[in-house]
Amino acid sequence: MQDPREQFPRPPFPEQPQEWPGLASEMEPRPDHGEESYHGSGRLAGRKALITGGDSGIGRAAAIAYAREGADVAINYLEVEEPDAREVIELIEAEGRTAVAIPGDIRDEAFCRELVETAVDRLGGLDILVNNAARQQWAESIMDVSTEIFDDTMKTNLYAMFWITKAALPHMEEGASIINVASMVAEDPPEILLEYNMTKAAIVNFTKTLSKQVADQGIRVNTISPGPFWTPLQPSGGQPQEVVATFGEDSLMGRPGQPVEIAGVFVLLASQESSFATGQNYSATGGA
């Protein structure tokens, strides 16, 4: 047992601006994705998972946990995130599992279809889909949000989820699981994240609707809504630098969550243990 308030680093943190999408390897303190702290027990033996944004942050934590629970894992990421992705691939392979790296931009519909086909081909099927990749850029006012920024956020957070899910469903059989990553901002939207907030609320609704469409196929669809987690999303334009320095201090734990702290929820929703859960929205917010 540990005091959860002191289990991981607490702010203040140094200001650490990065170009979007950012790298976990350049963050201080470096996030804990479970590299040393997550221990598996074979709960996903033989399963085959595709995770977008699997190079860092919450997607990386899910990829590590899935591999240590016995799954083969394909991760998608942008080419500039290759240094982080290489670390994840090595961690998956260290567990004796198949690791597939598929870099590319999910704002492109044709690539989304190619992503799924490549994952299915290289993994030999697809049982778990995690739509995790997201774009978040803060702005004081709607007047500061250009059409280009708005479009990039919508395509990354919503269009890609739609395209990838649509491409994946024909390959998924009874017992498969789709997990979409939303955010606590869907219910408590901060004023500086207008378009990001919109997409996260839409993801919750998409999940609830899709779960009704595919229930008769034996496929479950759920959402995970994190609170303030310490990931590259924050210093790479997701928050002002003065907020990064105190990030997470408003939670009841007085600190941000580390990605490994939500990995178990991804495992639960992918496993047969949650066979009666679909259309649900699971949160881990530190009481924020």
| Closest residue by Cα to residue 66 from 261, 221, 268, 222 | 268
Q: Is the pTM of this model over 0.95?
A: yes
Q: Given 38, 66, 77, 196, which residue is catalytic? A: 196
pLDDT of 288 > 90? The answer is no
In this predicted structure, what is the pLDDT of residue 77? 98
In this predicted structure, what is the pLDDT of residue 95? 98
Rounded mean pLDDT of the chain? 97
Condensed to tens digits (0 to 9), the pLDDT of residues 105-135 reads: 999 999 999 999 999 999 999 999 999 999 9
66 in catalytic set: no
Condensed to tens digits (0 to 9), the pLDDT of residues 16-37 reads: 999 999 999 999 999 999 999 9
Residue 93 to residue 67: CA distance in whole angstroms = 8
Average confidence (pLDDT) over 245-274:
97
Average confidence (pLDDT) over 210-235:
98
In this predicted structure, what is the pLDDT of residue 110? 98
Average confidence (pLDDT) over 3-15:
96
In this predicted structure, what is the pLDDT of residue 239? 96
In this predicted structure, what is the pLDDT of residue 50? 99
Q: Residue 246, SS3? A: coil
Q: Which domains does the chain have, with CATH numbers?
A: 24-36+44-276 (3.40.50.720)
| Closest residue by Cα to residue 89 from 71, 68, 73 | 73
In this predicted structure, what is the pLDDT of residue 172? 98
| Closest residue by Cα to residue 61 from 11, 132, 7, 122 | 132
Beta carbons of 28 and 13 less than 8 angstroms apart: yes
Residue 221 to residue 208: CA distance in whole angstroms = 8
Condensed to tens digits (0 to 9), the pLDDT of residues 92-102 reads: 999 999 999 99
| Closest residue by Cα to residue 102 from 5, 174, 167 | 167
Condensed to tens digits (0 to 9), the pLDDT of residues 51-69 reads: 999 999 999 999 999 999 9
